[in-house]
A and B are shown apart, each in its own frame.
Chain A
Amino acid sequence: MLRKAWALAVVPLASIVLALLVGSILIIASSVITTGSIDLMLPIVAYESLFEGATGISFLTVDNGSVSFDFAIDGERAARNLTSTIAATSPLILTGLAVGVGFQAGLFNIGGTGQVLIGGFFAALAGAAVADLPVPIAVAVAVVAGGLGGALYGFIPGALKAFTGAHEVVSTIMLNSLAAFVIVGLVNDVFKIVGPSFARTADVGNAALPILFGRNGHLGILVALALVPITWFLLYKTTLGFEIRTTGANPSAARYAGMSPRRLIILTMSLCGLFAGLAGTLEILTLGYYPAVFGTTIGFAGITVALLGRSHPVGILFAALLLGAMRAGAPNMQIQAGVPVEIIDVIQGVILLFLAAEVVVRRLLRIKTAAPGAVAELDTVTKTYGGERAA
């Protein structure tokens, strides 16, 4: 069991380490441009302040250019930073599941972004409509609406693939743009409220996610965390999960076994949309309204999370935690080390690059064989089996 987990995790872990190394080279290079001198310690300082920003635990002090080891925990700061980390993690868990569950069925859901937007938009509208109802009812209505909106937006590419063979990568990319532009139009026009200085929808009022702990420890965190074991149970313990995984691992065998590829494609894509829609719901119901300019990267980050977590719910949890911590800790890095927050996106991109070039990582580190029985996400990414038409 432990050996199997290690076999699955070794490439993702190696990719993270390699990406941090690449990141440190970039940090050093950027220090040459900004300060005019080479600062070899800067990456260490930057990563330390990133870690501190995410956890509140500090183990270095920088004093006039000299760096010394100094372990320190500020309890209050730790609680605050960790809460922010978990808050940043929860939507990533959901978008990670939105991509990972797709991979389990051999589908590459690039439509996370669009599903996040539609989910968030539906939640904002429903929330505004029930803004004055009691909190439990208002929240429930808004969350369900957001989830269903996302599911609907996953259903569309699923149905297109099942009945016409249209490849989900192409259709979801187009649906992403469609969602973004249609929503911007609607928020600027139909759903715009009078008052605020920028275009946005009405306040969700009582549908805003209640804060349970700390400054921003909201209810959505529990929803996201609860979905990890639920998804695991669904995938590995139910007949539906068996069907999803069989379709992903060998679509011909799934057909032979009497499973219906059409039904499974539509169902899985809807499920993926549901997860992404909930992620958008979390974002919007903590913000309180849907702004005309709602730029979110959590949809695409879901691809990195799913690949890093090997499409396994538990792996996705850890991968989301890593990316969430980086997002939560980045501002502190910028303040303390003067390294721009954008380096986080670079590192995330490099992680994805190494994960996609798994062969390179294996060569580099002399890792022998792939883990037996793993989900072949990369096959899904690289191969297009739109040819395997549902019958």
Chain B
Amino acid sequence: MTETVSAPALEMRGITKRYPGVVANDGIDLEVRPGEIHALLGENGAGKSTLMNILYGLATPDEGEILLDGTPVAIAGPSDAIARGISMVHQHFMLIPVLTVAENILLGEETMANPVFLDRNEARRRIIELGQRFGFEIDPDTKVEALSVGWQQRVEILKALYRDARILVLDEPTAVLTPQETTEIFAVLRRLAEAGHSIIFISHKLYEVLEIADRITVIRRGKVVGSRIPSETNEEDLAELMVGRNVQLVVDRGESHPGASSFVISDLHVNDDRGHEAVKGVSFEVRTGEILGIAGVAGNGQEQLVEALTGLRQPSGGRVELTGSTVTGRGPRHLQRAGMSFVPGDRQRFGLVLAFSVEDNLVLTQYDEPPYARGFVRNETAIDAWAKQAIAEYDIRTPSPNVPAGTLSGGNQQKVIVAREFSREPVALVLDQPTRGLDVGSIEFIHKQVIAKRDAGAAILLVSAELDEVLELSDRIAVMYRGEIVAMLDGPTFEREDVGLLMATGRREAVESVAVATAPPPTDATSADGEGGT
């Protein structure tokens, strides 16, 4: 670590930022060299965002200094940061869909022909040239809404390059991408680094960090707890640094013992809000004691499928059966009484009432059932007792059962939902993005709970945009593409690349080869288990 080949492009020294009650950053040192891809790794709330906000001028540090090319600077705000060559690519793109690529890039950084008119030709020329230099040629006149998510991200990067960014901060850039798109964007990032740009890559996906980064800095509770070079570390080591204890990254799934079909969906059609058919005749069944995963790029009808299955949306056709009785089009209350539990994908919209106490949220779907209500009067003693038990059992970190759920971290909010829904002893369990945005510690916990429910005999339907989650937990995988199930894959193990290809292309020809390649005899599951354990 003593080599000083070149002066660091960016140095943050002893950055400390205190908020009332918390030290968000506690003497953080970060050094990024020119042409380096530097990964910043940490759990939610570890202080990554605060640090990047300080770099981007959105927050002022209480202590410490920032040096660019060895010179101390005070960054006054985002426009100052951009002027100094620091750009940020947000997780949620800041693009205007109806404008063209060139127009989006020019917003806020107008290239003028004269004081009145834009110089569109010059802008177009520069965009094409930048694209060619970094290997992603793009037509500047394409409307952004016509671009895939992966290409929209490239427009964001182009925006930064157009502003002569030398330091690029990418906040969870792969969260919305398919594996193929991720590979492509990594190639772009490498080329940028070769051209001398410095990249700060924020992520919680360990294998990605290992693949792309030159150096990794791990932050925990506002402090730098370690710095690693990918060749000298592995996922387990990084996870332990990040969480501060030994973490089981891939839960031991064990053998599944599927029983009878308990949740049967036949030829289900569902429309989206605009009346377009989003789910086009989907049929599958979930057996007791198994986890059926639905893989697919977001927006291929999974959302509407889940809403139709959980009573939040009326299907336009087809049939849903739960433990032998038809429940097509029945509302949430009926389904809950019939033994279904549902962990919704948008926990703040559906799963919780943020203004209500943790306690009230823990009974949100059972508030009128005994013992939580006696007649029409709520039984606060019983609610309180259950809340204390749930908080202990599900390790919900909250100062008390009476604080509003909105004050909890995302992981703990999700644990509130999981505690509530899992405690109902469901016969069918629908999980929509059960670990979205959570840190590894919480993911591990929730995954273990899911497996436990499966082994207790629940029929579990798992929908997740995280392919890894689907791959790790599912006993079978259905791949959804444009409203249809294009492949049904049998476990226990799956080829990541094959599933990714199916998600991206929906090609049925690929299905056969995958099915042949991955279908092991059902009795021989032990070897796969051994593989998962190591």
Contacts and interface: CB of A to CB of B under 8 A. Distances in A.
B364 A238 contact: no
A252 B365 contact: no
Given A374-B355, A376-B355, A240 B376 contact: yes
Contacts of A255: 312, 332, 350
Nearest to A233: B377
A193 B405 CA distance: 60
B481 interface: no
Given A239-B367, A253-B349, A258-B336, A373 B355 contact: yes
Contacts of A253: 349-353, 364
B376 A372 contact: no
Contacts of A177: none
Nearest to A241: B378
Contacts of B311: 258
Nearest to B369: A239
A373 B404 contact: yes
Nearest to B344: A256
Contacts of A260: 331, 333
Interface string A191-207: 00000000000000000
Contacts of A252: 349-350
A255 B350 CA distance: 8
Interface string A250-267: 101101111110000000
A242 interface: yes
Contacts of A256: 310, 312, 332, 342, 344, 350-351, 365
Contacts of B368: 239, 242
Nearest to A376: B355
A260 B349 CA distance: 17
A391 B312 CA distance: 8
B515 interface: no
Contacts of A237: 377-378, 380
Contacts of B53: none
A237 B375 CA distance: 11
A246 B364 contact: yes
Given A242-B360, A257-B365, A249 B332 contact: no
A326 to B, nearest CB: 32
Residue among A240, A242, A249, A260 with the most chain B CB within 10 A? A242
B445 interface: no
A280 B367 CA distance: 35
A240 B368 CA distance: 9
Contact of A239 (B334, B342, B365, B373): B373
B354 interface: yes
B227 interface: no
A240 B380 CA distance: 15
Nearest to B366: A257
Residue among B353, B356, B364, B403 with the most chain A CB within 10 A? B353
Given A249-B355, A255-B312, A372-B404, A242 B367 contact: yes
A372 B407 contact: yes
Contacts of B354: 249-250
B406 A372 contact: yes
B309 to A, nearest CB: 13
Interface in A82-108: none
A238 B333 CA distance: 18
Nearest to B361: A253
B378 A242 contact: yes
A253 B354 CA distance: 10
Interface in A209-237: 237
B283 interface: no
A257 B355 contact: no
Contacts of A239: 367-368, 373, 376-378
Interface string B85-115: 0000000000000000000000000000000
Nearest to A234: B376
Given A256-B365, A374-B355, 17 more contacts: A237-B377, A237-B378, A239-B368, A239-B373, A239-B378, A242-B360, A243-B367, A246-B364, A249-B353, A250-B352, A250-B355, A253-B364, A258-B333, A258-B334, A258-B336, A372-B406, A391-B314
Q: Give me the 3 closest cross-chain CB pairs, A-B, nearest first.
A: A258-B333, A258-B332, A256-B350
Interface of B: 310-312, 314, 331-334, 336, 342, 344, 349-357, 360, 364-365, 367-368, 373, 376-378, 380, 403-404, 406-407
10 contacts: A245-B356, A246-B353, A250-B354, A257-B365, A257-B367, A258-B334, A258-B336, A258-B365, A373-B356, A391-B312
